[in-house]
Structure 1
Amino acid sequence: MGLVHVALVVLSLLSAGQSAPVTSCESLLQPLEIQGRDQLLGRWTYIAESTDIPGARTLTKMLIETTWLNITAGDNNDTINIVQNQKTMGLCLSVSSKLTLKNNTISREQPYPGSAILLNTGCPDCLVFYANYTIGQSTYKGVQLLSRRPKLSDTEMEEVTKQMMCLNLPKPVVLDPEKGFCSESQGRTFDLTDTINSMGSDQFSKLDKIFQSEGGVQTLMEMITSAVARINSN
């Protein structure tokens, strides 16, 4: 569930009471039991992400300035609602998602199927999500780091970087809170929820082919830059 949510927009805490740093891969990859959805609710800052989607690191560094999530309780006891507010090339974008929490796994079907668990962490106010998701014919994995704070210590960042290394994922892209955040009351925020949810399997297959192709990132960058230019001209 993760951060390539311009091309899609990707996804939340659970390490209460843990103060000692976690160091070994065995400890770092230990799943955490989710005691209840209340532990996930509230505002979270998107700190960093790593995924094995080809070119995702380049796309994230070039496109995403800052991101924060607002997680609220869903209508049913096992559902949560997420609104992701993202600053992209100066634009404020939002995407809403409904997820299901069951057996310590958070899952969703739209805009593409995916599931995530929480991993062990020494950060007392962080969520470390290990996600698997399917785009087109390909399955990808990724780790997303969220926190109640806009910025973490070097020690905390070293820990999550090692977690990603233990999963054979690339070095994380760390977002810069100094670039400012879009707010819910922002005058001009573009809600991409309906657009993304209306994408069919053929479109996701095409997107996956772009990810896999030589020069695909450049192609996708040109598409996104063109779309942003059209929005700014209106």
Structure 2
Amino acid sequence: MFFLILAAVLLPSGFSASLTTCDGLTQQVQIQGRDQFLGVWTYAAESTNMPGSKLLTKMFVENVWGKIYPANESDSFFVFQVQKMLGRCFTVTSKLTLVNNALHMDHPIHATEVLVATSCSDCLVLLSNFTLGESTYKGLQLLSKTKNSLLQGKRPKLTQAEMEEFKRQAACLDLPPPTILNSGKDFCPDESSPKDSETTDLTSVLSQADPEYMKLLDKMLSSRAGLKTLVDIIARNHTLN
């Protein structure tokens, strides 16, 4: 979860595939243009086959939101992502480019993302293929659009039917049961708001990370002993801070 950057889309008005079968639930959605991505989005749930991701997310991540705004190029935009972890705020800014109905990202990781069907009118489901170290993983994420500032109000919780649909989508893609993010806790403030909590920008750190470090991280996530070591490091650093 820590490296996936999300984007948003509205279903075309002509979309008519059934969302009761795996073919319908995993059908790719045609992207209509950059403007449909712009705005503020909260991350509702995700599923990924990256080892250790579910455990780390449940243990340390409280909530995530993102603001998408245009880049100079007409086919590109920036994603400013804010994660609340262990009571602290961490940000990452990434650039995505639309090519052949898919979103491509080179930094902080290499990823290709497509949008698939959802019956939620102000949500999106994003299917990603991303590389960490020498491994390629798959992820599915659910985003919900917010109509107001996160500091003024949050989107109502997704309905049970909407969450069940997302769980079926993950199952159709042979992904683990999704991790549900907590939207009831306070979100980190945006960059224009007074800072009432410490915020750390990880953009340059991730973009300049040594490839050997990313390989080591991948190996740690893939083994029980390595994952335990990683959990201990995060917990220890949090205690020291």
Question: Common fold, TM-score beyond 0.5?
Answer: yes
Backbone CA RMSD of aligned residues = 1.7
Instruction: Give the aligned partner of residue 169 of structure 1.
Output: 175
Whether 1:208 and 2:206 are equivalent positions in the alignment is: no
Instruction: Give the aligned partner of residue 58 of structure 2.
Output: 61
**Counterpart-to-counterpart distance in 2, 1:44 and 1:131:** 17
**Counterpart-to-counterpart distance in 2, 1:58 and 1:91:** 19
**Counterpart-to-counterpart distance in 1, 2:18 and 2:187:** 29
1:150, 1:177 within 8 Å by CA — same for their partners in 2? no
Task: Give the C-alpha shift of residue 186 in structure 1.
Answer: 4.6
Task: Give the C-alpha shift of residue 226 in structure 1.
Answer: 2.7
Task: Give the C-alpha shift of residue 32 in structure 1.
Answer: 0.3
1:16, 1:124 within 8 Å by CA — same for their partners in 2? no
Task: Give the C-alpha shift of residue 62 in structure 1.
Answer: 0.5
Amino acid of the residue matched to residue 4 of structure 1? F
Percent of aligned positions that are identical: 43
Instruction: Give the aligned partner of residue 155 of structure 1.
Output: 161
1:21, 1:121 within 8 Å by CA — same for their partners in 2? no
Instruction: Give the aligned partner of residue 230 of structure 2.
Output: 220
Instruction: Give the aligned partner of residue 2 of structure 2.
Output: 4
2:12, 2:30 within 8 Å by CA — same for their partners in 1? no
Amino acid of the residue matched to residue 134 of structure 1? T
**Counterpart-to-counterpart distance in 1, 2:17 and 2:116:** 15
Instruction: Give the aligned partner of residue 150 of structure 2.
Output: none
**Counterpart-to-counterpart distance in 1, 2:121 and 2:94:** 26
**Counterpart-to-counterpart distance in 2, 1:151 and 1:181:** 14
**Counterpart-to-counterpart distance in 2, 1:128 and 1:156:** 11
Deviations 1:107-164 (Å, cap 9, x if unpaired)?
1111221110000111101110000001111100010100113520000001111000
2:18, 2:25 within 8 Å by CA — same for their partners in 1? no
Instruction: Give the aligned partner of residue 14 of structure 1.
Output: 10
**Counterpart-to-counterpart distance in 1, 2:100 and 2:123:** 20
Amino acid of the residue matched to residue 228 of structure 1? H
Which stretch has the larger CA shift, 121-130 or 14-23?
Answer: 14-23
Deviations 1:4-50 (Å, cap 9, x if unpaired)?
24xxx653222255799721100011100000010011000000000
**Counterpart-to-counterpart distance in 2, 1:11 and 1:200:** 24
Which stretch has the larger CA shift, 190-199 or 219-228?
Answer: 219-228
| TM-score between both structures, scaled by the size of structure 1 | 0.91
Unaligned runs of 5+ in 1: none
- Alignment map for 1:34-183 (pairs within 5 Å): 34-148=31-145, 149=155, 151-183=157-189
**Counterpart-to-counterpart distance in 2, 1:19 and 1:175:** 29
**Counterpart-to-counterpart distance in 1, 2:6 and 2:166:** 16
Deviations 1:51-92 (Å, cap 9, x if unpaired)?
001111111100110100000011101111000011100001
**Counterpart-to-counterpart distance in 2, 1:92 and 1:227:** 15
**Counterpart-to-counterpart distance in 2, 1:186 and 1:205:** 37
Task: Give the C-alpha shift of residue 204 in structure 1.
Answer: 0.6
1:21, 1:159 within 8 Å by CA — same for their partners in 2? no
1:45, 1:150 within 8 Å by CA — same for their partners in 2? no
